[in-house]
Structure 1
């Protein structure tokens, strides 16, 4: 553990030039006293490292000296694809390996490319969860990831739409979608894999039994087909609506790309007030009712009649709720 930390300290100095003991302690998640001991150990090993006192002081390597200790470990090489996703990497339990990998990659770059890489890191950031959700976390995510990697069966207690169930799964891979982790897994005796939301795993036990991953299984390709099938079955009906100019704009914000694209594709010519009639796909009356309420008075449902009646009833309830009420008279205070 200490050897790995010494190398990380060396990589930090090689990448950043000068760093204080406090900065090194924060990056390495140790005390400043430990940093002092590590610096002394590097001195003893013959590393040309020196410290400068004062406000602009700190530790640095002798100008022009560079280490060749930038070889990747097996674990770091395995985590290479996660180098640009530090948040998900930490959720999977790979945060330390990815941090060490980034240090080694940065240290291996020539100065001009290292500067460009630093600017990219400063100016571009990938935030995977949706706006109105922080994503989901699960205490069992690292265990599922380990089972994926080692091809081990897992026995889980899972919260499904029908209630809690027990399953034996053969996890083929993990997918991060909209800040949520999904396991793509098969079950013994079944041909077609399915998706399981990882934060719905209530308990997990990893088996020593190794399963055989289907030959040629392509996780990205399977996921694309799964999403296409899901979307095809999601919208089972259509609704005919009138949209105001503002409603047409807001539909792009509150609805899916498929719904917004359908509205644009089917929209007729605007009337004198700028309203257009269009056809949009809907999942169900309940979902459409909730989604279209977000547009307020900027949408009118023409069909189906059941959806129009449900929205009209909600509008009447809202009108009654917000109807002006007489203000009770307040007696003046006694003299």
Structure 2
């Protein structure tokens, strides 16, 4: 176990350059104290590792040092083939490169590992888009990716939906691309880091000037924070709904797991008829109404008044169609 961790620590420094003990500990799933001991062990074994002190300090390898301790285990070789997303790679213009890399990796693996990797591919497949929806048309995705690789500024004409539908022009410094539930998002800086749905880009022009990425920016950490902030904003408004036992049981299918957890946490005591009152996150009137209408007669909206009015008007219009 420790030998594997020492190799991982060495490869992290080789691939990423200087890293603090805190960052190394987070990557390896250990404490900084363990990292200190592991660094001492590597130095005692003759690895040219050194420490730099100060706010931007950390551990690093001497320039030019490379290790060849990169042999794959069977589990590691198998897991590599779970990361190959040919669809998204093709959208980025990298489909041929991914296929070629997989062929080279397959050819380099020992026969037992190769057979195990084929078993993985035969048994697991990733299909990112949700049911009953086509993937977004993203004609500008390749241009965004090229600008991202080259740290080039871009100018886009963008279809914005909030606070009201409008087309705006933005000059951006692209920082990263994220694929979320089959939808591509661009993380970029205009005045501060924000997200843009790539499918909403109407036109794009790559500018000649380059930029320097902000120090310490971590795409995964930014995205995690963005998602949490977005979901908290969604939960800022809420609808009060009375639910039958059947309506309560159907909530996960209609609202999804996050909204269902919030609704169940707010449940009131059951009445004589078994119905219970719950608070449901409200993204918008139309969005909430569309979801709650799927519950049919197993749910009744109590508030806010504008949602009650919206539901009543929609149901009346539907009833008129069936007279």
Under a length normalisation based on structure 1, what TM-score does the superposition of the two structures give?
0.67
SS in 1 for 2:115: helix
SS in 2 for 1:127: coil
Task: Tell me what 1:319 maps to.
Answer: 319
SS in 1 for 2:167: strand
Q: CA deviation at 1:96?
A: 0.5
Q: CA deviation at 1:273?
A: 4.8
Query: Would the alpha carbon gap of residues 219 and 82 (structure 1) be closer, same or farther in structure 2, given more than 3 Å must change?
Result: farther
Task: Tell me what 2:172 maps to.
Answer: 169
Task: Tell me what 2:42 maps to.
Answer: none
- Whether 2:276 is the aligned partner of 1:276: answer yes
Structure 1 CA distance for aligned equivalents of residues 277 and 96 of structure 2:
55
Task: Tell me what 2:188 maps to.
Answer: 185
Contact 1:82 1:89 in 2 (8 A): no
Q: CA deviation at 1:261?
A: 0.5
Task: Tell me what 1:105 maps to.
Answer: 105
Q: CA deviation at 1:106?
A: 1.2
Q: CA deviation at 1:213?
A: 0.5
The runs of 5 or more residues in structure 2 that have no matched partner are: 1-79
Q: CA deviation at 1:89?
A: 0.2
Structure 2 CA distance for aligned equivalents of residues 158 and 305 of structure 1:
34
SS in 2 for 1:268: coil
Can you list the C-alpha shifts for 1:223-254, whole angstroms capped at 9, x where unaligned? 11111111122233222212123222322112
**Aligned pairs (5 A) from 1:67-146:** 83-146=83-146
Query: Would the alpha carbon gap of residues 125 and 274 (structure 1) be closer, same or farther in structure 2, given more than 3 Å must change?
Result: farther
Task: Tell me what 1:243 maps to.
Answer: 243
**Aligned pairs (5 A) from 1:1-335:** 83-161=83-161, 162-187=165-190, 190=191, 192-271=192-271, 273-323=273-323
Query: Would the alpha carbon gap of residues 305 and 204 (structure 1) be closer, same or farther in structure 2, given more than 3 Å must change?
Result: closer
Can you list the C-alpha shifts for 1:189-235, whole angstroms capped at 9, x where unaligned? x2x11111112222222223111100111001011111111112223
User: Which is higher, the Rg of structure 1 or of structure 2?
Assistant: 1
The runs of 5 or more residues in structure 1 that have no matched partner are: 1-79, 324-335
Q: CA deviation at 1:272?
A: 5.3
Contact 1:134 1:179 in 2 (8 A): no
Q: CA deviation at 1:277?
A: 2.1
Under a length normalisation based on structure 2, what TM-score does the superposition of the two structures give?
0.69
Structure 2 CA distance for aligned equivalents of residues 143 and 277 of structure 1:
50
Query: Would the alpha carbon gap of residues 298 and 197 (structure 1) be closer, same or farther in structure 2, given more than 3 Å must change?
Result: same
Structure 1 CA distance for aligned equivalents of residues 225 and 167 of structure 2:
27
Q: CA deviation at 1:125?
A: 1.0
Contact 2:81 2:120 in 1 (8 A): no
Structure 2 CA distance for aligned equivalents of residues 106 and 81 of structure 1:
10
